[in-house]
């Protein structure tokens, strides 16, 4: 990296303005209201999530919560509001 960069005054082509697509700091700080529940999971499931959480430097409970949230989001378009399923 000892080579010096030489800049030239060339045409960059047609520029395009991209609208701001990043979330605002307020959106990043938003925390969804949580509800504490007691849930019994299999030992192998907990071992899996703990192992993966360690690899990715996060909390295993957070991974499980995000998995459930992703499932709910995926089901939202197909959910029926006509009452409980049989």
Give the mean model confidence (pLDDT) for residues 38-47.
96
Q: Residue with structure tokens 């919560």? A: 65
Given a cut of 50, is residue 86 above it in pLDDT?
no
Rounded to a whole number of angstroms, the CA Rg of the chain reads: 23
Instruction: Give the 3-state secondary structure of the chain.
Output: CCCCCCCCCCCCCCCCCCCCCCCCHHHHHCCCCCCCCCCCCCHHHHHHHHHHHHHCCCCHHHHHHHHHHHHHHHHHHHCCCCCCCC
Residue, of 14 and 43, whose pLDDT is higher = 43
pLDDT class of 43 with cuts at 50, 70, 90: very high
pTM of the model: 0.56
């Amino acid at each position: 990296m000892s080579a010096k960069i030489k800049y030239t005054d060339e045409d960059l082509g047609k520029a395009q303005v991209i609208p701001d697509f990043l979330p605002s700091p307020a959106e990043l700080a938003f925390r969804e209201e949580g509800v504490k529940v007691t849930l019994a999971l299999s030992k192998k499931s907990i071992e899996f999530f703990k192992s993966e959480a360690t690899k990715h430097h996060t909390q295993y409970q957070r991974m499980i919560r995000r998995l459930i949230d992703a499932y709910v989001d995926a089901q939202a378009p197909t959910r029926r509001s006509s009452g409980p399923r049989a």
